[in-house]
Amino acid sequence: MPIVFVVCGSGVLIWRTTSHHANPTGLPEQPSSPGQGAPKERIGLRLSSMQEGVLTSSIRIPFEPKVPRVDSKGSLFGDARAAPKLFSEIEIKRGDTLAEIFARLKIPPGHLAEMLALPEVAENLKTLRVGTKLRYAFVDSVFSRFEYQIDDFRTLSVERRNGVLQASVAAQTPEIRNAASSGVITRSLFVDLQRAGVPDAMILAFADLFGWDVDFVRDIRKGDRFKIIFEEIFREGHKVGNGRILAAEFSNGEKNLRAFYFKAKDGTEGYFSQAGEAMKKAFLIAPLNFTKVSSRFNLARMHPVLNRIRAHKGVDYAAPMGTAVRAVANGRIDFAGQQSGYGNVLVLKHGERYTTLYGHLMKFASGVSRGDTVKQGQLIGYVGMSGLATGPHLHYEFRINGAHVDPLTVKLPRAIPLDKKYLASFRQTVDPLFERLAALDSKDANNAASVVSRDPRREASSSN
């Protein structure tokens, strides 16, 4: 008499029957009519009643197989959070490589080669993020699943299907919220923006945004005001980062500067004043931020080392050793090396008329050499005290047609304004942002819609 096993939900139905037909429902059968086979007989398993069309067992026999969870897409693994036991994890340490990690896990190197042959894997595993966890799984002792969090919103998944590894990248849409803050300068731009809750990266972006019009070394004064509206990025209700500045304002003495981000439908984008003039100029006002002028342009200055009158044909910016020095404009490196008084020095040529010089450098930036082209704002070196120098500072010169001019007073060329065809769309973007900036002056500006969100990662680092 044959025995029939039927898997149902988490239970196993066992039937003994003398016919070739089974009754997997577990419901009482009607008496058989003449000519039909004998009724089936259930053994070894008591079943609960039918509920909403689903039959469930009231007991589980010792040898019942455990059925793996299958997600809605038919994947054996499903959501990692729903089936964590299927995965093992290893955290990426500083200096780790994939080959070293796979070796520690005793995964044959052939599996790594097979995985790296997939374009999605090769593209997204060029660098590993320290602290990120790699998740992997074996099925029947065969390496069959791998996951890596590329960034806050993309996950690389590799899964073996029909014996072949296949890769995919799943992307999650970030939630963008707008945050705003304002304040008054009492100590310095950096310190006061920090006190207002603005993240460090946004402070640097703020300084860069107005760096064509304001020298934050010599122009900033107590009582100057700042306002900023920027994007904060969230995932599942938790802040994970910051986006771009949408609007900013800086009141510097009699100057009231505003900048707005605008992107047209054809991809044209940038920062512009309220009148539609590009914030980006041909030249930055200064090659570094948050320092002070220690010596000005003076053709009859007493040299502090040589102790005699010697023309000072540039301006000196006192700054800590290693402070980043940036190219003030697009150009080409005309000289990179040592000159007696200047020490380590770079000379940049900007077109046919303009030349800038950066002296007393500690060292040049990686990859910087004569003949290379550089972009405005690019790191080119680090503040030092090479050559004839009494302390760490940057010596900066500006020349027009070979003649030295005062870098602090030279009139620099302006940038091209926004094309007229974009002005209508520009106004639609800028006017609401302008109103929001103006609202930051009112007493109720610090409401829930305008307060900078708390960044848990920043709080954690400050508490350590």
C-alpha distance from residue 192 to each of 184, 198, 252, 402 (Å): 7, 9, 14, 40
Q: How confident is the model at residue 296 (pLDDT cuts 50, 70, 90)?
A: low
Name residues whose C-beta falls within 8 Å of residue 435's C-beta, 6 or more positions apart in sequence.
none
Domain 292-405, CATH homologous superfamily name and number: Glucose Permease (Domain IIA) (2.70.70.10)
- pLDDT at residue 22, as a whole number: 45
Residue 309 corresponds to which tokens in the numbers above?
Answer: 């009158």
The residue behind tokens 């040299």 is: 303
Q: How far apart are CA 124 and CA 352, in angstroms?
A: 42
pTM score, whole prediction: 0.58
Q: Which fold has domain 84-171?
A: Nuclear Transport Factor 2; Chain: A, (3.10.450)
- pLDDT at residue 452, as a whole number: 60
The answer, yes or no, to whether residue 406 has pLDDT greater than 50, is yes
The answer, yes or no, to whether residue 58 has pLDDT greater than 80, is no
pLDDT: is 230 or 45 the higher one?
A: 230
- pLDDT at residue 307, as a whole number: 57
DSSP 293-324: EEE--BTTPBPTTT-SB--B-SEEEE--TT-E
Mean pLDDT of 200-211: 91
Collapse the DSSP code of 44 into the 3-class scheme (helix H, G, I; strand E, B; otherwise coil) and give the result: coil
Residue of 392, 395, 361 lying closest to 379 (CA atoms) = 361
Q: Considering the chain, what is the average pLDDT of its residues? A: 77
Q: What is the pLDDT of residues 346-377, one digit of tens each?
A: 999 988 889 999 999 999 999 899 999 998 88
C-alpha distance from residue 350 to each of 168, 184, 331, 354, 356 (Å): 45, 37, 4, 5, 8
Q: What is the pLDDT of residues 168-180, one digit of tens each?
A: 999 989 999 999 9
Mean pLDDT of 40-55: 40
Mean pLDDT of 217-235: 90
- pLDDT at residue 352, as a whole number: 82
- Percent of the chain past pLDDT 90, that is, above it, reads 34
Q: How confident is the model at residue 379 (pLDDT cuts 50, 70, 90)?
A: very high
Mean pLDDT of 226-238: 92
- Say if CB 105 and CB 90 are below 8 A apart: yes
Q: How far apart are CA 175 and CA 314, in angstroms?
A: 48
- Percent of the chain past pLDDT 70, that is, above it, reads 72
- pLDDT at residue 290, as a whole number: 64
Mean pLDDT of 236-265: 92
CA geometry: angle 330, 402, 411, nearest 5 deg = 60
The residue behind tokens 């042959």 is: 117
C-alpha distance from residue 58 to each of 10, 11, 52, 85, 195 (Å): 10, 8, 16, 26, 63
- pLDDT at residue 29, as a whole number: 47
Q: How confident is the model at residue 453 (pLDDT cuts 50, 70, 90)?
A: low
- pLDDT at residue 384, as a whole number: 94
Q: Which of 10-24, 71-85, 155-169 has the lowest mean pLDDT?
A: 71-85
Find the distance separating the first CA and the last CA of the chain, reported in whole Å: 73
Q: Which of 211-215, 246-250, 319-323 has the lowest mean pLDDT?
A: 211-215
Q: How confident is the model at residue 194 (pLDDT cuts 50, 70, 90)?
A: very high
If DSSP states are collapsed to H, E and C, what string results for 109-153? Answer: HHHHHHHHCCHHHHHHCCCCCCCCEEEEEEECCEEEEEEEECCCC
| Fold agreement between 84-171 and 292-405 | no
The CATH class for the domain spanning 175-281+439-463 reads alpha beta
- pLDDT at residue 311, as a whole number: 66
- pLDDT at residue 65, as a whole number: 43
B/e letters for 381-411, b = 16+ CB within 10 Å, e = fewer, are bbbbbbbbbeebbbbbbbbeeeebbebbeee
**Helix (DSSP H) and strand (DSSP E) numbers for the chain:** 7, 23
Q: What is the pLDDT of residues 102-140, one digit of tens each?
A: 888 888 888 889 989 999 998 888 888 898 888 988 888
DSSP 225-240: EEEEEEEEEEETTEEE
Q: How far apart are CA 394 and CA 345, in angstroms?
A: 10
Q: How confident is the model at residue 83 (pLDDT cuts 50, 70, 90)?
A: very low
Q: How far apart are CA 429 and CA 419, in angstroms?
A: 15
Residue of 128, 166, 163 lying closest to 149 (CA atoms) = 128
- pLDDT at residue 262, as a whole number: 94
- pLDDT at residue 60, as a whole number: 41
Residue 263 corresponds to which tokens in the numbers above?
Answer: 């992107």
C-alpha distance from residue 210 to each of 174, 247, 257, 415 (Å): 28, 12, 8, 14
Q: How far apart are CA 17 and CA 32, in angstroms?
A: 14
The answer, yes or no, to whether residue 33 has pLDDT greater than 80, is no
The residue behind tokens 């060029």 is: 126
- pLDDT at residue 247, as a whole number: 96
- pLDDT at residue 374, as a whole number: 92
Q: Can you give the residue ranges of every domain in the chain?
A: 1-67, 84-171, 175-281+439-463, 292-405
Mean pLDDT of 246-263: 93
Q: How confident is the model at residue 34 (pLDDT cuts 50, 70, 90)?
A: very low
Please, which residues bridge with residue 13 across strands?
A: 6
The answer, yes or no, to whether residue 50 has pLDDT greater than 50, is no
Q: How confident is the model at residue 48 (pLDDT cuts 50, 70, 90)?
A: very low
